[in-house]
Structure 1
Amino acid sequence: DRPQSLFPLMTLYAKHCHFCMNQTDILDFLKRENYDIAIIDPFNPCQFLIAEKLGIPYIVFFAGPFSYSLGNGLPSPPSYVPMFLSGFTDRMNFLERVINTFMYLGSYMVEIRNEQIFRGVIEEHFPPDSRPTLSDLHHKAELWIYNMDFSIEFARPLLPHIQYIVGLRAKPAKPVSQVSTRIRFTAFTPNNEIIQHMIYTQVKSNIKK
C-alpha cells in the first residue's frame, strides 16, 4: 500500500517541480543572491534539482529515522540492519533476513520508479551533456543530517558524511506551573471498619526563565 500511495504523490511533486523550474525570474534572483549552501529535505526530489540548477552545494536534513539509506550511499547489510517498518530487530533469524532482503530490494525498485517519474523534469530543464540522476544528486550532498539519536537506532555502518544530530526540532522547555492535587479514597479493615485517607500532592517547577 505504501508505494501505491507514494507514486501519485511523487507525480504531483514532479508537476510542481515543472512549474518551479519554469520560474526563471525567481531562479535568476536566487542565483544572484550567491548562497553558500542550501539545506534541503530529501523527501521531495525537486529540491535536489533546484539546488543543482542553482549550482550551489547542499546539506540534506532528514527529520526521522534511517528509513532512507539507499540514496546517501550508506551501507545497510540486510543480515542485521532491519528495514524501516519491517518490525524486525538486529537479531533476525534466517526467514526474517530473507524477508528483510526482499524489502530492501523493494525499496530499491521504488527509487527506480521515482527516477522515472522525474525523468521528464530532468530532460526538460537540464542539457543533454549534463543531465543528473536523482541517485547522483543524493550522493553529491555535502552532508546528511539525521534528526535521530544513536541510542534508539540499530547499529549500522556509518560514513563520515552521515551525522546524528538529535533534538533540532525540539522546542525549549517551558516552566511547569504549580499543581496541587487531592485524592480521597476509602478502605475497609478486616473487621469491616471504614478508613478514609487523604493524599495531598504538590508539584512546582524549579525551571527559571
Structure 2
Amino acid sequence: MAPAVFPASLPLCVCLLLASGLAQAGRLLVVPMDGSHWFTMQMVVEKLIHKGHEVVVVVPEVSWQLGKPLNFAVKTYAVSHTQEDLNREFKIFIDEQWKSQQEGGILPFLDSPAKGFFELLFSHCKSLFNDKKLVEYLKQTSFDAVFLDPFDVCGLTIAKYFSLPSVVFSRGIFCYYLEDAAQCPSPPSYIPRMLSKLTDTMTFKERTQNLLAYMGERAFCHKFFKSAADIASEVLQTPVTMTDLFSPVSIWLLRTDFTLEFPRPVMPNVIYIGGINCHQGKPLSKVHHLSFST
C-alpha cells in the first residue's frame, strides 16, 4: 500500500491543535456541527483561545446550541429552514437511527426517511456561500487552518474552496470515507461494518454478510451524499466526489480510543483522542488508616 501523502501544512496544524502554549498562535476557522457534537468541540475551541489562538466560528442562524452567547468571534448566515423544520427532521432521524440499530447494518439507515435531516444540514453550505459578504470576509481573513466537524460536509467544502489545511474532529465517519481518504485498511474479512452487530471473530457466513454490507456501502453511500457533493461541485465549480472532499484532510482527531475499536492499522495523521470530553477528575480525599490491635 502506498504511504499516506501529508501536505506541507501538516506541521502547522499540529502546532495549532496539539502543541503547548509556547507555540506561535495562529488564526483558526471553526465550522462546527450543532447539538451534542458542539459540546465537545466547544471545549477544544475554548482551550485553543486560552493558548492564544485567534478563532472565528461560522454557524447558521437556526440552531439548538450554536446560537448561545459565546466567548469568541462568531459569524452567522441565514438558512432556508426554520427551527420547527430542524426539530421535526431531527425527530425522524432519531427514530430511524433506533430502527437501524435494531435491524443491524447502516444500509437501512442510509435509505430511510432520516435522509431528510441530512438534506437539511447539507443545504447549510449552499446558504453559507450565498452570503457573499461572509464569503468575502472569510477570503480576506488569512486563516491558517479549518477546524471542522465533517457531519454536514460543509467544513470540507470550505477548506477546499479556500485551499486551507483541515483538521477533522469527529467520533467517526459514515460509510468508507475515512479508510479511503486516510488510507487506513479495513478488510471486511476482519473489520465489521458500522452497525452490523458483528465482531472481529466472524464465521464464513458472517464474513460474507459483512462483505455484502461493504459492497452495499460502495453502491449506496454516494447516493446518500449526492446533494452534498452536488453543492460542493457547484461551489467549487468543478465536479467532486465525497472522497475528493475527505482526501485533503491533514489531521483526523477521532473521539474514540483504540481499545474501543477493532484492531486495524491507522496512519500517523489519525489520532485517537477518546476521553477528551470527560471532566478532569478531582483528587481523592486523604484516607486515614486506622489500626486496631487485639
Using structure 1 for the length normalisation, give the TM-score: 0.74
Q: Which residue of 1 aligns with 2:245?
A: 137
Q: Which has the larger radius of gyration?
A: 1
Contact 2:222/2:242 (8 A) holds in 1: no
- The change in CA–CA distance for 1:109 and 1:7 in structure 2 (over 3 A counts) is farther
- The change in CA–CA distance for 1:67 and 1:12 in structure 2 (over 3 A counts) is closer
Which of the pair is proportionally richer in strand?
1
1:84 partnered with 2:194: yes
- d(CA) in 2 for partners of 1:12 and 1:149? 31
SS in 2 for 1:61: strand
SS in 2 for 1:99: helix
1:148 maps to amino acid: T
Q: Which residue of 2 aligns with 1:98?
A: 208
CA drift at 1:136: 0.9
- d(CA) in 2 for partners of 1:70 and 1:127? 22
Identity of matched residues, %: 30
Using structure 2 for the length normalisation, give the TM-score: 0.54
Q: Which residue of 2 aligns with 1:31?
A: 139
Runs of at least 4 residues off by over 6 Å: none
1:166 maps to amino acid: G
Q: Which residue of 2 aligns with 1:179?
A: none
CA drift at 1:20: 1.0
- The change in CA–CA distance for 1:162 and 1:123 in structure 2 (over 3 A counts) is closer
- d(CA) in 2 for partners of 1:114 and 1:21? 22
1:206 partnered with 2:206: no
Q: What do residues 71-91 of structure 1 show as CA deviations (whole Å, max 9, x unaligned)?
A: 433211000101121111111
- d(CA) in 1 for partners of 2:202 and 2:126? 44
- d(CA) in 1 for partners of 2:153 and 2:220? 13
Give RMSD over aligned pairs: 2.2
Q: Which residue of 1 aligns with 2:259?
A: 151
Q: Which residue of 1 aligns with 2:109?
A: 2
- d(CA) in 1 for partners of 2:148 and 2:219? 23
- d(CA) in 1 for partners of 2:281 and 2:254? 22
Q: Which residue of 1 aligns with 2:119?
A: 11
After superposing the two structures, state which structure 1 stretch, 46-55 or 81-90, moved more. Answer: 46-55
SS in 2 for 1:163: strand
Contact 2:150/2:169 (8 A) holds in 1: yes
- d(CA) in 2 for partners of 1:153 and 1:122? 31
SS in 2 for 1:43: helix
1:112 maps to amino acid: H
- d(CA) in 2 for partners of 1:17 and 1:134? 14
After superposing the two structures, state which structure 1 stretch, 85-94 or 68-77, moved more. Answer: 68-77
Residues 103-118 of structure 1 correspond to what in structure 2 (within 5 A)? Answer: 103-118=213-228
Residues 113-132 of structure 1 correspond to what in structure 2 (within 5 A)? Answer: 113-128=223-238, 131-132=239-240
SS in 1 for 2:207: helix
1:70 maps to amino acid: Y
Q: What do residues 131-190 of structure 1 show as CA deviations (whole Å, max 9, x unaligned)?
A: 432211101100112111111211012122222122222222357xxxxxxxxxxxxxxx
Contact 1:21/1:50 (8 A) holds in 2: no
Unaligned stretches of 5+ residues in structure 1: 176-204
- The change in CA–CA distance for 1:87 and 1:42 in structure 2 (over 3 A counts) is same
Unaligned stretches of 5+ residues in structure 2: 1-107, 287-294
